[in-house]
Amino acid sequence: MRDYDDIIAFLGEWGPFQRLIFFLLSASIIPNGFNGMSAVFLAGTPEHRCRVPASANLSGEWLNASIPLEERGGQQVPQRCRRYSLEALANFSARNLVPGRDVNLSQVEQEKCLDGWEYSREPYLSTIVSEWNLVCDDDWKTPLTTSLFFVGVLLGSFVSGQLSDRFGRKSILFATMAVQTGFSFLQIFSTSWEMFTVLFVLVGMGQISNYVVAFILGTEILGKSVRIIFSTLGVCIFFAIGYMLLPLFAYFIREWRMLLLALTVPGVCCVPLWWLIPESPRWLISQGRFEEAEIIIRKAAKINGVPAPAILIDPVEIQDMKAKQQQGLLLDLFRTRNIATITVFSLLLWMFTSIGYFGLSLNTPNLHGDAYLNCFLSAVIEVPAYVIAWLLLRTLPRRYSIAGTLFLGGGVILFIQLVPPNLNLLSVILVMLGKFGITSAFSMLYVYTAELYPTIVRNMAVGATSMSSRVGSIIAPYFVYLGAYDRFLPYIVMGSLTVLIGILTLFLPESYGNPLPETFEEMLRVKGFRNRKHTYKIGSSKQSELNSRTMRTSL
């Protein structure tokens, strides 16, 4: 019985058709890079202090002394959320008293910023923070904005797979690209923080759905030997290219509405790809649309310059393949103690790695030095991280590769608190090295998880762990928020969690060099669980079904 890979084997692995699909689908990922991290600059918090209106009638001396000082970063700087009572200061000013000489300022009553705030115009001309005063008592809204974006990402990852299974890969790919671009454009006209945030959730739904569907479409069209390259050096590096474009756009466009408009334009440029990217022939066959699938395959053969067989697809053969395909249940991921252990560890692995990745990415404006340069470096470091991940996947065991990169990432992050204050450059280098390690680990998780689980629950397992990573991304902005209390606290927490999950990864089974498991029995015979006693009570009839199912690859 032939499978789809056997049917298209005559096309070859890396012809002009495959190269075209590889680069077009990868290029469609570029807008995801800057939309996914745009909150770094759209929601950047500039330096601010309480506004003192001219109507307060203060002399120059009292106007300069109207804001209390606090120690921040080893320096005395004006407080951001308090000012001295203007009524008391006006009384002192009218009596020609001098601050600090005639009046002890520590004994003067303080009050909130009742007249709003004054914002620095460096490095941002405007952000949503300065637009709607998301500071002081409302500073919780800034991380909530980013978290709700990732709530949209979570919702999008939940529905995109089901929609693409029902309506087709290509249709949902371009529909989600339209959602991402369209609602991003509507954000420009936001009149309140609430409106901006609701639209941001919708942008998040389109953002991840576009990424996931492009990933699925590429893995279904491309051959076996190209899929791992596509899933690492393809979509990941082009995501990093989009991420690198973000600080370049933001450096030259420092007003948030115009920046958002500039970030929307590349999405519009993807419209012509509709006529160049085909539907997945594999999906068309699964829907019984054999003629459409055959047209696409024969067109691919023409592009590659190879002759196509006279009889390409036998409908009876394909229908027999479809009849044997069966689905597992979510409960199967927790059916026995050993399987449940693998699942729980995998969920934690994805969640903690996601917290580290997004926490470090969103925290770049808080690093010492130029925010735009730091963000650019954070994006650039991902390229060698993906290359290293690809090389590790080809040559070394999975769990040691992932654990090693997590130890590297988490370990150097923990060292940041030991860096002397006068060596800020070293802190930035350690952050980038930590981002390198965590990014490498993150990019290997898809392949590793797909190799751990048997065919009938493989896609379900990848989907569940991917959703766990979305939960981590929702939490990540609040790890950054911890920096308001202690600048080292986010690094201590993220580093500790990263090292912890690196240790737990060593207890997972090894999949490198093993064939993809077809049944749960094969899943538990891999290294790490081979010598453990396990019982998988699912009934003799169901067990015989599991043993007879045809193994499919998810990548």
8 Å CB contact between 397 and 508: no
Segment among 227-231, 300-304, 374-378, 490-494 with least mean pLDDT: 227-231
How does residue 540 score in pLDDT terms, banded at 50, 70 and 90?
Answer: very low
Give the model confidence (pLDDT) of 428-451 as tens digits.
888 889 999 999 998 888 778 877
Segment among 88-97, 116-125, 245-254 with least mean pLDDT: 88-97
Average pLDDT of the residues in 70-74: 72
Q: Would you give the end-to-end CA distance of the chain in angstroms?
A: 20
Give the model confidence (pLDDT) of 292-341 as tens digits.
888 888 888 888 888 877 777 666 666 665 555 555 566 677 777 777 88
pLDDT over 50 at 535, yes or no: no
How does residue 232 score in pLDDT terms, banded at 50, 70 and 90?
Answer: confident
| Average model confidence (pLDDT) across the chain | 80
3-state DSSP assignment of residue 275: helix
Average pLDDT of the residues in 131-146: 89
Closest to 296 measured CA to CA, from 322, 315, 277? 277
Give the model confidence (pLDDT) of 366-416 as tens digits.
777 788 888 888 888 988 998 898 888 888 888 899 999 999 999 988 888
Closest to 206 measured CA to CA, from 246, 170, 185, 175? 175
Q: What's the confidence (pLDDT) of residue 549?
A: 40
pLDDT over 80 at 365, yes or no: no
8 Å CB contact between 399 and 488: no
Q: Give the whole-number percent of the chain exceeding pLDDT 70.
A: 85
Q: What's the confidence (pLDDT) of residue 190?
A: 93
Return the residue matching tokens 């709530």.
Answer: 151
Q: Which residue has the higher pLDDT, 320 or 502?
A: 502
Number of CB atoms found within 10 A of residue 77's CB: 13
Q: Give the whole-number percent of the chain exceeding pLDDT 90.
A: 14
| Token couple for 193 | 């923080």
What are the φ/ψ torsions at residue 48 (nearest 5 degrees)?
-150, 160
8 Å CB contact between 60 and 268: no
Q: What's the confidence (pLDDT) of residue 321?
A: 56
How does residue 543 score in pLDDT terms, banded at 50, 70 and 90?
Answer: very low
8 Å CB contact between 72 and 100: no
Q: What's the confidence (pLDDT) of residue 317?
A: 61
The 3-state secondary structure of 234-281, one letter per residue:
HHHHHHHHHHHHHHHHHHHCCEHHHHHHHHHHHHHCCHHHHHCCCCCH
Q: What's the confidence (pLDDT) of residue 192?
A: 93
pLDDT over 60 at 82, yes or no: yes
How does residue 537 score in pLDDT terms, banded at 50, 70 and 90?
Answer: very low
pLDDT over 50 at 242, yes or no: yes
Highest mean pLDDT among 34-38, 80-84, 335-339: 80-84
Average pLDDT of the residues in 476-505: 84
Domains parsed from the chain with CATH numbers = 1-46+125-325 (1.20.1250.20), 48-119 (no CATH), 327-555 (1.20.1250.20)
| Token couple for 494 | 């993220």
C-alpha distances out from residue 238 to 22, 29, 244, 417, Å: 11, 6, 10, 33
Q: Which residue has the higher pLDDT, 315 or 159?
A: 159
pLDDT over 90 at 191, yes or no: yes
8 Å CB contact between 30 and 238: yes
Average pLDDT of the residues in 344-366: 86
d(CA 402, CA 400): 6
How does residue 456 score in pLDDT terms, banded at 50, 70 and 90?
Answer: low
